[in-house]
Amino acid sequence: MDLPAVEVKKILYATDLSEHALRAFAYAVSLANLYGAGLTILHVIAEDPDLDERIIGHVSADTWEMIKQRHFEEAQEALIGKKGSGRAIKDVLDTFCEQAQSKGCSFDTDEVLVLRGNPSEQILETLAEKGCDLVVMGSHGYSALKDALMGGTSRRVVRYSKVPVVIVPLPSD
């Protein structure tokens, strides 16, 4: 039996910027290094339509949009720096990589994206748009309870992804 050749040229690393996501990042970097693949980093700012409806009762829709835009811009600056070049996050990720592995860790950051919307939908859309061959993400984000109540971003990505998904579980300690 002949096995098909596995080519991984583009990896999507989906992060919620939690401490657990850093563990998943180590796997994304390791796989990018192993395959010589480019790494696209994605953070999605979740939008909650129910929250929008509740907030608009207290402030105008325009004011709420300005607040959400400010949050979006702050997340972008935190991830990619004010110039938007991706250099700041690459420096941070390179430093982490150096600390996590003693030698030979190198990877190319193709793109750093900060999007708004439903996290699982944005991850699946980005996979298709960018032609990624693999996605790496943590099994849980900021809150395991919130993740369970919402149905689980990682569970939805596994279910609907057309490419392999690497889910990094929470540490057992």
Nearest in space to 42 (alpha carbons), one of 104, 132, 103: 132
- DSSP summary character for residue 2: P
- Tell me the C-alpha distance between 136 and 122, whole Å: 14
Digitized pLDDT (tens) for each residue of the chain, 173 residues in all: 888 888 999 999 998 877 777 788 889 988 998 899 999 988 887 776 555 555 666 667 777 677 767 766 666 565 555 444 445 545 555 555 555 555 456 667 778 887 888 899 999 999 999 999 999 998 865 544 444 434 488 889 999 999 999 999 877 76
Separation in Å, CA 4 to CA 1, 7, 36, 110, 123: 10, 9, 19, 26, 26
Residue located via tokens 């860790």: 105
How much is the pTM?
Answer: 0.70
Q: Which domains does the chain have, with CATH numbers?
A: 10-141+149-168 (3.40.50.620)
